[in-house]
Amino acid sequence: MAFEEFGSGAAHISGSLAQRRRIRRCKLTVRSDMRKTRALPGPKAKRLIERDTLCMSKSYTRIYPLVVERGSGVWLWDVDGNRFLDFNAGIAVCATGHSHPQVVSALKDQISRFLHMSGTDFYYAAEINLAEKLSRITPGRFHKRVFLTNSGAEAVEAALKLCRYQTRRSQVIAFYGAFHGRTMGALSLTASKAVQRKYFSPFLAGVTHVPYADCLHCVYNLEYPSCDFACVNFIEEVVFQKSTSPEDVAAIFVEPIQGEGGYIVPPDGYHNRLKRLAEKYGILFVADEVQSGMGRTGKMFAIEHWDVVPDVVTVAKGIASGLPIGAAVARSPLMDWEPGAHGSTFGGNPVSCAAALATISLLEDGLVTNAARVGAFIMESLKEIEKRHRILGWVRGKGLMIGMEILKTRGDGKGNPDKRDLLVRHCFEKGLLILPCGESALRFSPPLVVSKKEAELALEIFEESLAEVEKERGGVGRAHSTFAAAGA
């Protein structure tokens, strides 16, 4: 019996005993059907990983030995026929699930006509349609312009160059815990894990990092709301007074919800205060929505949860269901730079544009709403699970951007990266794909097509794994773990 066939999530909670028994039987069938090989990786995966080990860059951060063969919706199959529930979505990319038929059909149509033209030098409808669409869906009802790129880091680079160009100011404020990409400009803004920067200095001059509104690990040891946003006041009262004149600051780059740095949701009012500060000194407010955007949080853009309208929005990841594309979207007068000031050979290529248009139309037709609905269900369930397990804490998130901390014990609030790593591995062994983030956090970022039933199954696997890990002594050991360096 296919998993999709058994009763709804609501029935699972409130149905009769017979109904609940039937659902339980179906779930067991689905679960027993997921694993085909005795050990993971299976023989085919093992052979491919051996070859990979010899030819691929050693900088890659492989979390577990998953070798994918195909995918559909929230499900992935490895080369040995094992089936996995994908709660990563290719690091928050495959918003419409794997190989959504509408996206595939849009791609086929575009591929049969032409593959490339270079939108920097020539015109084509897909690029124009996408720019118009992005202008309409990004926050702010004013005329905008769009610069298309191949990735999130490139979108950040474009935003950074634009802000410097237009303000003629050199300095930038960014945040500890931020991840903006790995190209040199974007990396200069990134301050998530030291290993991502080690041996790459000198970085772009003029970047000042300041504490984010990470209330779980408040560097001031204060509590919200009595803290009165000490982290924002610090910028004005310390940075602007002692080291960096605000008249030299071009932009504040901020993730509405920090992603790779730990799925940190700032408290209400934070972005509003930050925006007011930026406005006071003529500083541009750049919202990096590469991970939090495109419907993932239950609104098209995460910054909309706080009614803040940024000057520039950067997007990538979830915009095209897996095809490489990113964008910097800005007020029209701001993106008025002279021809030749910036460009890209592949940026906004027609195939990626076609995928993005199909993706956005699916997001608008229900997937953003689904992210809010199923996200709320997962969050509620995780809060219940949290009560039953002392090593799980600080469940947070919006929509389907959900983070949680794995702790030594709940009381002292200290993170337990070893157990977190072990838990990720246990989940993988049972067929659930999740990823770490931050020091000791986990993230759930499933495709936005995930159903309540699929979420229930994921939560069941997660809690089972959590219970096992809770009982085990120690973890996988940091020496064997690549997680400290993992993520994007």
Query: Can you give the binding site for ligand PLP, defined by CB under 6 A?
Result: 151-153, 156, 179-181, 255, 259-260, 288, 290-291, 316, 488
Nearer to ligand PLP, 192 or 370 (CB): 192
Here the tokens at position 363 are 């997001």
Residue nearest to ligand PLP (CB): 152
| In the complex, least distance from residue 229 CB atom to ligand PLP, rounded to whole angstroms | 22
Query: CA triplet 176, 299, 289: central angle to 5 degrees?
Result: 35
Q: Is 38 helix (H, G, I), strand (E, B) or coil?
A: coil
| In the complex, least distance from residue 445 CB atom to ligand PLP, rounded to whole angstroms | 10
Q: Is 253 helix (H, G, I), strand (E, B) or coil?
A: strand
Beta bridge partners of 223: none
CB distance 110 to 382 below 8 Å: no
Three-class DSSP labels, 454-478: HHHHHHHHHHHHHHHHHHCCCCCCH
| In the complex, least distance from residue 107 CB atom to ligand PLP, rounded to whole angstroms | 19
One-letter amino acid of 290: V
Closest CA to 417 of 442, 440, 394, 392: 440
Distances (CA, A) of 358 to 325, 432, 475: 13, 28, 43
CB distance 463 to 117 below 8 Å: no
Distances (CA, A) of 304 to 95, 297, 324, 416, 440: 19, 10, 25, 33, 28
| In the complex, least distance from residue 263 CB atom to ligand PLP, rounded to whole angstroms | 11
d(CA 33, CA 4): 14
For 482, counting Cβ atoms within 10 Å of its Cβ (0-12 exposed, 13-18 middle, 19+ buried), the class is middle
Nearer to ligand PLP, 76 or 93 (CB): 93
| In the complex, least distance from residue 181 CB atom to ligand PLP, rounded to whole angstroms | 3
Nearer to ligand PLP, 57 or 221 (CB): 57
| In the complex, least distance from residue 154 CB atom to ligand PLP, rounded to whole angstroms | 7
Per-residue burial over 443-475, b = 16 or more CB atoms within 10 Å of its CB, e = otherwise: bbbbbbbbbbbbbbbbbbbbbebbeebeeeeeb
Distances (CA, A) of 17 to 12, 21, 290: 10, 6, 45
Nearer to ligand PLP, 181 or 393 (CB): 181
| In the complex, least distance from residue 305 CB atom to ligand PLP, rounded to whole angstroms | 16
| In the complex, least distance from residue 186 CB atom to ligand PLP, rounded to whole angstroms | 6
| In the complex, least distance from residue 221 CB atom to ligand PLP, rounded to whole angstroms | 27
Q: Cβ of 276: how many Cβ atoms within 10 Å?
A: 12
| In the complex, least distance from residue 444 CB atom to ligand PLP, rounded to whole angstroms | 15
| Element (DSSP H or E) covering residue 433 | strand 432-433
Indicate the length of the chain as a whole number.
Answer: 488
